[in-house]
């Protein structure tokens, strides 16, 4: 892979050569056909070299739907379905989607929380699949649905740069228009089954995890921790002082009897299968009742 020559002319504009023209032709010819996602990613790859790529649908009320993922199996140390089993709920791009981000090209290094690249999510997900960086192309189908193309760089190569982002952005109008045409033809087959049990368990875990041990504010701080926010940025989000947030963090570690973010991340993921959708049951309580589970201390009486 060549990262210093992303096949663009000066200024980050896609070079008008035969390779780009042929890729455009294949992408247009594939609209409404099985090879659309592959050929669209091939087109993006002519202006932005990547090591892996794929396409995914995001839904507000369902877990993501993987449409295509092309990667080197030798660089992955996680099962292919690990992300879809729950960690997607902590992904910065998923939260960008939930906040209503419009059509656009998004660079992970521009929108991720300030401590994301030191977070347990990054270490346990990105690092375990050999990635260092992502660029996402989002087409907003409606308020509750979006199509994403993701371009990935391996830890073996430099991260993306501004020239990569500029080149992909110049192809955004075509990518959005082609995706809309493809979706109009194929949308009856693009929606997963309703009442997705995994997503409901993930949402229930977010709503109820550690509620039997932590205060509501501590739970808010906990999820900022899981998503890679520093104490300072969490304080700004919650209109609190950084010192107060650090106290909350210490209390969270003490009440959950953990000593690191790695333990917190592992505990959260482990509790997802024990969640009870439509109930206010703390999945952590259920998880800790297992004979092999480590005992979590009882919460201190409120004063």
Average pLDDT over residues 115-135: 86
CA distance 146 to 168: 18
Closest CA to 170 of 4, 11, 2: 11
Instruction: Note whether 182 and 204 are same-domain residues.
Output: no
User: What's the angle, vertex CA 13, arms to CA 20 and CA 147, rounded to 5?
Assistant: 70
Domain C-terminal end among 163, 189, 215 = 189
Instruction: Note whether 172 and 64 are same-domain residues.
Output: yes
Q: Give me the phi and psi of 44, to 5 degrees please.
A: -60, -35
Whether 20 maps to a domain, the answer reads yes
- The reported pLDDT for the residue numbered 79 is 78
pLDDT in tens, 157-200: 899 999 999 999 999 999 999 999 999 999 865 555 556 889 99
- The reported pLDDT for the residue numbered 82 is 86
Whether 293 maps to a domain, the answer reads no
Encode burial over 76-105: b for 16+ CB neighbours within 10 A, e otherwise: eeeeeebbbebbbbbbbbbebbeeebebeb
Name the pLDDT band for 144 (thresholds 50, 70, 90).
very high
- The reported pLDDT for the residue numbered 13 is 54
Instruction: Note whether 174 and 63 are same-domain residues.
Output: yes
Domain C-terminal end among 189, 219, 235 = 189
Domain C-terminal end among 189, 214, 248 = 189
Q: Tell me which of 119-128, 163-172, 223-232 is least confident.
A: 119-128
Instruction: Note whether 281 and 141 are same-domain residues.
Output: no
Instruction: Note whether 181 and 232 are same-domain residues.
Output: no
DSSP 65-98: EEEEEE--GGG--S-TTTGGGTGGGG-HHHHHHH
């Amino acid at each position: 892979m060549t990262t210093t020559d992303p096949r663009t002319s000066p200024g980050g504009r896609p070079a008008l050569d035969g390779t780009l023209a042929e890729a455009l032709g294949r992408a247009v010819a594939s609209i409404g056909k099985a090879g659309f996602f592959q050929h669209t990613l091939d087109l993006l790859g002519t202006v932005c070299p990547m090591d892996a790529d794929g396409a995914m649908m995001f839904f507000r009320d369902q877990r993501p739907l993987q449409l295509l993922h092309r990667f080197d199996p030798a660089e992955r140390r996680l099962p292919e379905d690990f992300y879809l089993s729950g960690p997607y709920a902590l992904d910065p791009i998923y939260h960008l989607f939930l906040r209503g981000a419009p059509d656009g090209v998004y660079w992970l290094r521009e929108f991720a929380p300030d401590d994301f690249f030191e977070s347990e999510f990054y270490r346990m997900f990105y690092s375990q699949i050999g990635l260092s960086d992502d660029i996402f192309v989002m087409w907003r189908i409606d308020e509750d649905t979006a199509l994403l193309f993701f371009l990935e760089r391996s830890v073996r190569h430099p991260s993306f740069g501004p020239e990569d982002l500029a080149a992909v952005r110049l192809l955004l109008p075509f990518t959005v228009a082609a995706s809309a045409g493809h979706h109009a033809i194929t949308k009856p087959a693009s929606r997963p089954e309703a009442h997705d049990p995994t997503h409901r368990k993930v949402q229930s875990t977010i709503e109820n995890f550690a509620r039997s041990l932590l205060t509501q504010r501590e739970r808010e701080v906990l999820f900022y921790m899981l998503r890679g926010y520093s104490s300072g940025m969490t304080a700004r989000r919650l209109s609190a002082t950084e010192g107060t947030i650090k106290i909350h963090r210490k209390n969270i570690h003490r009440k959950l009897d953990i000593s690191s973010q790695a333990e917190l991340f592992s505990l959260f993921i482990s509790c997802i299968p024990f969640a009870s959708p439509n109930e206010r049951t703390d999945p952590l309580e259920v998880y800790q009742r297992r004979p092999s589970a480590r005992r979590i201390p009882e919460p201190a009486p409120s004063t």
